[in-house]
Amino acid sequence: MRVDGELQDLARELTETQTVESGTVEPVTIDSPDGLDILRHSAAHVLAQAVQRVNPEARLGIGPPIQDGFYYDFDVAEAFSSDDLKALEKEMQRIVKAGQRFVRRVVTDDEARAELADEPYKLELIGLKGGAESAAEGASVEVGAGELTIYDNVDPKTGEVAWKDLCRGPHLPSTRLIQNGFALTRVAGAYWRGKTELPQLQRIYGTAWPTKDELRAYQQRLEEAAKRDHRKLGRELDLFSFPDEIGSGLSVWHPRGGIVRGEMEQHARRRHIEQGYSYVYTPHITKRDLFETSNHLVTYADGIWPPIHMDEERDEAGNITKQGVDYYLKPMNCPMHILIYKERSRSYRDLPLRLAENGTVYRNELSGALHGLTRVRGFTQDDAHLFVTPEQLEEETTKVLEFVLSLLSDFGLTDFRLELSMRDDEKSKWIGDEAIWETATDALRRVARASGLDVVEEPGEAAFYGPKIDLKVTDAIGRSWQLSTVQLDFNLPERFELEYTAADGSKQRPIMIHRALFGSIERFFAILLEHYAGAFPVWLAPVQVVGVPVAENFADYLDEIAAKLRAKGVRVEVDRSDERMQKKIRNHTLMKVPFQLIAGATDKEAGSVSFRFRDGTQDNGVPVDEAIARIVEAVETKAHV
């Protein structure tokens, strides 16, 4: 249940005034987002209990719920194997069937240390409880800034404690509610508290759902997702690769992938220019002073690549005659766009100023976090920064959101929802004037609601420098992806002392809007690739048409048709290889070419072709002019065939 906004166990006692009728108590169902987190966190405890039953020497790390599942970290002498997972699932099932009760106990720091004396990682968390959120990912489920609690797993028949863990909770009333809708999925290595200098633990991942049917449906989605994995499709369709010689998380784009990326970028560029954006270009590297002024070297230090020391000069004796300077690969484009704004004085008549760039940035990601094109060390943001007056804020934000939705729709994405991130109640977690925050948040709320999309408000999730709207999209197999962000910023204009001359002649600070539409071009490409399972709409397909002659002597006829298509901007090839016709058709079907034009003697005599589509269907005897018109229309209308 949720009591006065706080999640609590059903076993907690309520006061006389705390009731459902009064609105202070709300039920939490197991299929709600909070309910699923509680289910999965409870399953994580059952996993940890099972591990220590099988291996009493295992030491416990952290076990939080995550999207679609949970994990738990363990310090063990030998790595887990797939066979171990099967044995652990059976042990978990025995614990589930036993119907152990989750019982909450408040303890002092000293009591917790005494009870958990054999758990070094738990002892460390007790010492870090005031800063659990920053201490380690998932640590906040174990300890917080308030009281310490231990959860006992109690045998319902004997009342004896079967197992216990340091935890904030809440949990299910009983392990029996986990039922049989859980499964362990994989094992991975994970550094304690995410720090490479600390011990590496074994992380077991699992998933849990309210019913076995929902578990099976999830597993089927995973199977479909595996077929659509952009890393697999990238190899099969010859789109991109990650050569070892270049380094982890750094991609190269092959000609076919380059075509798709080019179409994406060029279409977005045209749309931006129509919307009044000006394109700028900035370098990949800069002196440290810039990121000191922006404060990125403090607030984003772990994400920045190590410095490159340059410009130092020495005399013949080796003595330094000129001090060097540290340069950094840029993790963000915004400070450089700010310098463009500052290059000359600005008037209210110059605003809004909309600067856009496809700017490549570099992030010092841990190797274990890298994942194809969705998590890389070097990527290109379709970045834009808008400088507006307070009076322009709402109208400009509305235009930005409408533009985002329109442009993403061009790529065939239509299932959207919004999240509005608002400031934290604690003043120490945000900067600026409260009245400006309220005005800006209210403006974003009106903009979000006016879009007609579902809007979820997230208190405390804003960045310290301003509220934001995040746009989430659901793909073809029901997965949710965060794409565009519209972020308001009062901080950087202050730090860089940005000004404009208002209508009354006074000097005022502009408000800055950070806006990434794709987010990262690489990541957006990966999302599209998986959304379409590699079968891009015709306008994005690397090769839009392939001519397949029934015999070699009909290739010239198809070459004439191909020339007409090229004249209209269509990407077309004629397959003159030595393969048999059926093998050619199969090859191009596997490469997901939208249209195959097949021609033999009958077609040549009639001035026609046969269309073959991706799904194997065929349309025979189509006059050449009609075939060309069909293909051109499919490109222009962004059709998916």
Question: CA angle, corner 60, sides to 57 and 62, nearest 5?
Answer: 165
> 256, 261, 377, 514: which is the annotated catalytic residue?
514
Measured from the Cβ of residue 83, the count of other Cβ atoms closer than 10 Å reads: 8
Residue 442: phi and psi, rounded to 5, are -60, -40
Q: Where are the alpha helices (DSSP H) in 74-211?
A: 82-98, 109-115, 120-127, 132-135
- Please state, in angstroms and rounded to a whole number, the distance separating the CA atoms of residues 167 and 159: 20
> 41, 129, 468, 588: which is the annotated catalytic residue?
468
> 383, 470, 489, 603: which is the annotated catalytic residue?
383
For the question of residue 568 being annotated catalytic, the response is no
> What are the distances in angstroms from CA 465 to CA 185, 431, 589?
39, 6, 50
For the question of residue 363 being annotated catalytic, the response is yes
Measured from the Cβ of residue 254, the count of other Cβ atoms closer than 10 Å reads: 14
Alpha-carbon torsion (140, 141, 143, 148), positive or negative: positive
For the question of residue 86 being annotated catalytic, the response is no
For the question of residue 625 being annotated catalytic, the response is no
- Pairing between β-strand 572-574 and β-strand 545-549 as defined by DSSP bridges: parallel
Beta bridge partners of 188: 203
- Please state, in angstroms and rounded to a whole number, the distance separating the CA atoms of residues 611 and 628: 11
> What are the distances in angstroms from CA 410 to CA 271, 536, 539, 636?
10, 13, 11, 11
CB 218 within 8 A of CB 68: yes
Residues 6+ apart with CB under 8 A from 207: 40, 68, 69, 70, 182, 183, 185, 215, 218
> 45, 354, 385, 423: which is the annotated catalytic residue?
385
For the question of residue 603 being annotated catalytic, the response is no
CB 45 within 8 A of CB 102: yes
The secondary structure element, H or E, covering residue 46 is helix 33-54
DSSP string, 558-591: HHHHHHHHHHTT--EEE--SSS-HHHHHHHHHHT
- Please state, in angstroms and rounded to a whole number, the distance separating the CA atoms of residues 469 and 467: 7
> 363, 423, 523, 612: which is the annotated catalytic residue?
363
> 334, 337, 523, 592: which is the annotated catalytic residue?
334
For the question of residue 97 being annotated catalytic, the response is no
> 100, 179, 202, 381: which is the annotated catalytic residue?
381
Chain length of the chain = 641
Closest by Cα among 410, 404, 308, 304 to 363: 304
- Please state, in angstroms and rounded to a whole number, the distance separating the CA atoms of residues 361 and 638: 30
Closest by Cα among 421, 420, 430 to 464: 430
Measured from the Cβ of residue 433, the count of other Cβ atoms closer than 10 Å reads: 9
The secondary structure element, H or E, covering residue 488 is strand 480-489
For the question of residue 638 being annotated catalytic, the response is no
CB 39 within 8 A of CB 210: yes
CB 284 within 8 A of CB 345: no
- Please state, in angstroms and rounded to a whole number, the distance separating the CA atoms of residues 112 and 114: 5
Closest by Cα among 546, 554, 483, 490 to 519: 483
CB 242 within 8 A of CB 251: yes
- Backbone angle region of 201, left / alpha / beta, with phi > 0 → left and psi within -120 to 50 → alpha: beta
Task: Report the chain's terminal Cα–Cα distance, integer Å.
Answer: 49
Structure tokens at 468: 């934001």
Residues with catalytic function: 334, 363, 381, 383, 385, 468, 514
